[in-house]
Amino acid sequence: MALDSKSGATEAFQLSKVSVQIVAEGVLAIPASPKESIKRFVKTQESIRIDNKETKEFDSVLCLVNTAMLSHEGRFSGKADSNSIKKVRVGGLTAKKKESLLAQIEDENDSDLVDGLCDFNVMMALDRSLLREDMSSLCKIVAKYSRGHKKGIEVENKLKLVIKNSILI
């Protein structure tokens, strides 16, 4: 997949049947040592025909097939009716979402907070301002919650404070 993190534009690709066949038949000239880098243009053991010309080198992009992407509703896609990030400032949370998360942090029920965090856009926005360890802990909690372990879910006070500070910045 190719993903532009600033705009969110995503393209998915898969390998073509011909490229799988080329590899299976041993037509590619794979470098013998790992020091030789594999570049965009790939060499072949035998001559191949591209655009009615014989060559021993071809553009590796020809091995890819653009794949259609469908909209997704799932465990980490958030609510369909909510807009949690700003389009103008890349990745920033909207004022409404910040207010909602801050209220959920203050609430005794951690389940509501984790439910609010089960939004990929929110997690991406928080990832920019949280330390790796804090983000890892948060991801574990969100994954556990999304698998159905909703009762007894707890977010440490330290992690709540870190999330609160990153939202207020």
Token pair 């006070």 is found at 157
Q: How far apart are the first and last CA of the chain?
A: 32
> Looking at the structure, do residues 61 and 105 belong to the same domain, yes or no?
no
> Looking at the structure, do residues 107 and 61 belong to the same domain, yes or no?
no
> Looking at the structure, do residues 100 and 158 belong to the same domain, yes or no?
yes
pLDDT for position 137 = 93
pTM here? 0.52
> Looking at the structure, do residues 40 and 104 belong to the same domain, yes or no?
no
Distance CA 136, CA 16 (A): 36
> Looking at the structure, do residues 60 and 109 belong to the same domain, yes or no?
no
DSSP helix/strand/coil, 52: coil
pLDDT for position 163 = 92
> Looking at the structure, do residues 59 and 9 belong to the same domain, yes or no?
yes
> Looking at the structure, do residues 104 and 145 belong to the same domain, yes or no?
yes
What are the pLDDT tens digits along the chain (169 aa)?
Answer: 777 767 667 788 888 888 888 888 888 887 777 776 667 888 888 888 888 889 888 888 888 888 876 665 655 555 544 556 555 445 678 888 889 999 999 988 888 899 888 888 888 888 888 999 999 999 999 988 888 887 778 899 999 999 999 888 7
Cβ atoms 78, 118 nearer than 8 A: yes
Domain limit, last residue, from 24, 51, 67: 67
Token pair 């021993």 is found at 56
Specify if 77 maps to a domain: no
> Looking at the structure, do residues 44 and 105 belong to the same domain, yes or no?
no
DSSP helix/strand/coil, 66: strand
Q: Each residue of 91-104: b (16+ CB within 10 Å) or e?
A: bebbeebbebbeeb
Range of the domain at 20: 2-67
Cβ atoms 135, 127 nearer than 8 A: yes
pLDDT for position 88 = 44
pLDDT for position 80 = 46
Number of domains, the chain: 2
> Looking at the structure, do residues 12 and 63 belong to the same domain, yes or no?
yes
